[in-house]
Amino acid sequence: MSVKRSRNVFEEEVKQNENRETDFNQKILSRLVELKPDINTSTKEKIQDLFSDIKEELLYFQNEIVDSLIDCATFLPHKQPIYATLIGLLNNEDYLIGKRIVEQVVEKLEEYLLSMEFHKSNVILRFLGELVGTSVLNPDSYLKLLKRLVLIKDAEYAPRSKKDTYCYLVLCSLLYNGIFLKDRDEILREILDNLGQYLHYRDKAYSKFLSSWRDENLPEDELTYLLQVVEELSNKDWDNPRLITSYSSFFRTIFNINELHEIENFKIPVDTKKKQIPYQSLKNFSKLKINFKDYKYGKEFGGEKENLEEESEEESLSEDENENENEKEKEKEKEKELENEINKETNEMFGEEKIEKKISIRSKSFKELNFLLKEKYQKTYLTFQPYFKLLSKSINESERQYEIIDIYPLQILIRELLNFYNDNPNLLTRIFQSLHNIVDFDENSCSRVILEIVFSEMFRLPTSEFQTIYYTRIITELIKKTIFPPILASLIDETFKLLNTFDPQNLYTFVEWFSIHISNFKFLWEWSYWDEILDQDKNSSKRRFVYQALDHCIRLSYYKRMKKLIPENMWFILPPDPVPNVKFQTMEKNEETLSTEEKTMYEYQRKGSMWSNELEPKLKKNVPPHEIAYWLDNEIVKKEGMEFALDVFMQTLLKVSYKTFTHTFTKIGKYLPFFEQVKHNVQNKQRIISSVFEFWTNSPLHTVTLIDKLISYRVIDNNSVISWIFSPENYNMFFDGTLWESLNLTISKTIHRTQTVRMALLKQQIKAIKLDRNLKNQKNLDNNNQDPLEIDINQDNSSQLQVEQQKINENQSSNLKINFNSKSNKKKKKIPYHDLVKIYNNVLKEQKEMFLNLFQCFFKLIKFHLESCDHALSEPFNNWYYVVTGGLAKIVRNYYPEIKDIVLYLDPIVPDENSKDYDPRLATIMKEIKHLIEYLSD
């Protein structure tokens, strides 16, 4: 009884200790988070009280305290001064604790630099500077670290983007912590001179491709601009009174400045010539389809299932489902050992590329909103566009004025918070609403800066960090507070005024954001504010913005509702009611009053109407495809030609099935055998595309969706779509967003197909390596267990491997659907490894041919435009030119990882100087495109 009682007492004590540890962790963490960095007596008392409580539990919970402090400093960067102060007090209490904290913070910095998480790297590096201010870290050691980061600019194999990123980290640290280092003026000047020299000779020709504005006098890029801010701060003796940098002045007497810690054994990631280049093209792995009205997902990511499931989620390679936990842990260790072998195998096929083993689309759930965030599947270095500025350089208020050196630290902080709290907008907005207490700003000015930074991140080029819907969510939460709506209205108005110089990619982003934003407020907006567009050309940027914004609003609601909400004098710019445009219908006209061209068109429509009326009942009755093909061939093709027959067939098919997408998709699926017979001719494919655009000319949504479905059914291909889009017949349609939506959808669908096959191939490689390893282990085990006399009788190991490999090909291969959008629940078709390799090579070749065709068609159209303008003696660099070249720039920015593989094949597209067809304007465009690809790929 006594033994049992003692055991129960021991277990009870263990439980009590565990509960006590949990309660302490929650209590301390909660108090750390609740602290606010205000300079006042109450804050000082709270810090002292918290320190007293921590000191009492330091002996028992040292690990938990240290980890909590570092985590809070990382994810609450606006409260770093508080946590640095607490660490200074702890260091004064116990020197070893301070040393341990410095070592862990340095390890975190190494980890984040290696994993290319530069927002966190920036925060951690700044926190080390805060520890200098609280007499924990030796300033000389910190400066030595900064000098080492700056010297990356001289590294032989470091890419330009890495040099830029590391310079940015150093400049941000100096902006925040230069005041703690001003006694080492010579070293600071040396660092700034090195940075200035690097940025002076750095190539900036790419800037106009990453600028949100089309302006001859571009502002400096963010990196150069930041250097100017730091230089200005240094001229003021590094004093920024509006920035609460530390509480060291409160506790100067208790900090022990004689015992400072050093940064030891810090390792910077090194680049070598044979560095593996991470794969970068998975950001378009899935289309985002959201019902913005209800803030819910579409049926699936893209509305339809593609040919493979997200197989990369199935990471476990274990074949025995009944393994116990110990065996599973051993299996995971073996998987880690396989990574080097997997990389070797994949490099043989894909070149020097490090393929991500796990690729998935992360979703975040909020209380009011579910949406997908655009994850960066491959970690990249930072890019720096020309400084985005909607407001004036300084914010002038009635009583106070804030210069850029006051504002810039706040801007950096806001960007980091946007990145860290993308999964919790409610918490993020609460933090934003209290930021004016951190830097000595009044609330109105701080709110203006917050909204401007949110706008700048949404308009960031080459691509924003997250989907537009994320920034929409943040702005929607912010304007619930009364101080934000007037500021937002002024930002919208300022952006609208600058639309004539806005980049086409950002113009579309502005359209997307604005339409979703006003949909949250019943589409109410004072459209009369923009009545200036009534007198402007229909292709002007401002008028196109209003037109496309109304079109997106109609997609989110309906036509009649939007017509009621806008003034009558603006009805004529309202997009047409999204109803079908029936091309072949019975009509009577007086031929005597028609011109020759009108007579030709009238005769074409009259014949088409006659055949369409005869074909319509056949399609309604679902007459078999072979009978339809036979009827078309005998009745129309022999008399009018295949192109006319296809036009009649497509127009009639769409007419009988236009009620819903389901009806249309079903009809197309029903007559796929007919399309199989006619799709081998390029002209036939383009006739099909043209018929879709003509029938749904009033509804861009229907047009884009049907083109997507026809590509999925392989009725048309990417090259036929691209060739049709860039044909001279569509010269005046490029101001409409429909062509660009269809083009981007076509490109992303092709890349999606390539990546899907690639992932299936990679999974088979992993399985093959796993099998080979198991066979080797089994052979070794058999050799150890067998009688030596029986070894010669066994089959040769190579033949055994062949048999097992054949089993893998037959039974364990990855699943691949030939029909990429099939919804069938049938068992997926399994394709042998070698056939999968052939499929991958084919889709990769198709992808490269698509981009080559894209550039060829683009330059043909640009050449046609330049020659037409020269013939008419008009200005070639007009609005049409900027829209089309801007659209291509958007494609290059979004798909440069795939385009860079064909750069060497682009030169023959444009005639060189020795050719009689040489045009320096075309050569300049090609040079700029290649320069942009080179910059983004570096």
716 against 767, higher pLDDT = 716
pLDDT tens sequence across 185-198 = 889 999 999 998 88
Where residue 316 falls among pLDDT bands split at 50, 70, 90? very low
Can you give the pLDDT at residue 390?
55
Where residue 277 falls among pLDDT bands split at 50, 70, 90? very low
| Crossing angle between the packed helical segments 139-150 and 118-133, to the nearest 10 degrees | 150
Question: Cα(674)–Cα(186) distance, rounded to whole angstroms?
Answer: 79
Phi first, then psi: give them for residue 138, nearest 5 degrees: -70, 125
137 against 243, higher pLDDT = 137
Q: Tokens 């291909």 — which residue?
A: 717
C-alpha R_g of the chain:
33
Under DSSP, is residue 215 helix (H, G, I), strand (E, B) or coil? coil
Residues 6+ away with beta carbon under 8 Å from 30: none
- Which CA distances in Å does 621 have to 19, 336, 654, 675? 73, 60, 15, 18
Q: What DSSP string runs through 458-476?
A: HT-SS--SS-HHHHHHHHH
CB-based burial of residue 893 (10 Å sphere; 0-12 exposed, 13-18 middle, 19+ buried)? buried
107-127 average pLDDT score: 90
Q: Find, among 306, 375, 340, the residue nearest to 759 by Cα.
A: 306
**Largest separation between any pair of C-alpha atoms in the chain:** 118
Which tokens go with 760? 């299936």
27 against 493, higher pLDDT = 493
Question: Cα(552)–Cα(700) distance, rounded to whole angstroms?
Answer: 10
343-361 average pLDDT score: 34
pLDDT for 543 beyond 60: yes
115 against 776, higher pLDDT = 115
pLDDT for 38 beyond 70: no
97 against 15, higher pLDDT = 97
Out of 516-520, 677-681, 789-793, 869-873, which region has the weakest mean confidence (pLDDT)? 789-793
Percentage of the chain modeled with pLDDT above 70: 72
Can you give the pLDDT at residue 749?
92
Q: What does the DSSP 8-state code read for residue 307?
A: S
Total residues found in the chain within this entry: 938
Question: Cα(93)–Cα(256) distance, rounded to whole angstroms?
Answer: 9
- Buried-state track 430-439, b at ≥16 Cβ within 10 A, e below 16: ebbbebbbbb
pLDDT for 374 beyond 50: no
pLDDT tens sequence across 657-669 = 999 999 999 999 9
914 against 514, higher pLDDT = 514
CA 504 from chain centre, in angstroms, equals 18
Tell me the pLDDT of the chain averaged across its residues: 76
Question: Cα(837)–Cα(832) distance, rounded to whole angstroms?
Answer: 9
Which H or E run contains 395? strand 395-396
- Which CA distances in Å does 379 have to 114, 153, 159, 348, 901? 10, 20, 14, 23, 20
300-320 average pLDDT score: 34
Question: Cα(636)–Cα(652) distance, rounded to whole angstroms?
Answer: 14
Percentage of the chain modeled with pLDDT above 90: 29
Q: Find, among 466, 556, 567, the residue nearest to 516 by Cα.
A: 556
pLDDT for 860 beyond 70: yes
Q: What DSSP string runs through 551-573?
A: HHHHHHS-HHHHHHHS-GGGGGG
Can you give the pLDDT at residue 474?
93
pLDDT tens sequence across 44-58 = 777 777 877 787 777
Question: Cα(411)–Cα(796) distance, rounded to whole angstroms?
Answer: 68
pLDDT for 799 beyond 90: no
Question: Cα(297)–Cα(303) distance, rounded to whole angstroms?
Answer: 9
Question: Cα(892)–Cα(903) distance, rounded to whole angstroms?
Answer: 11
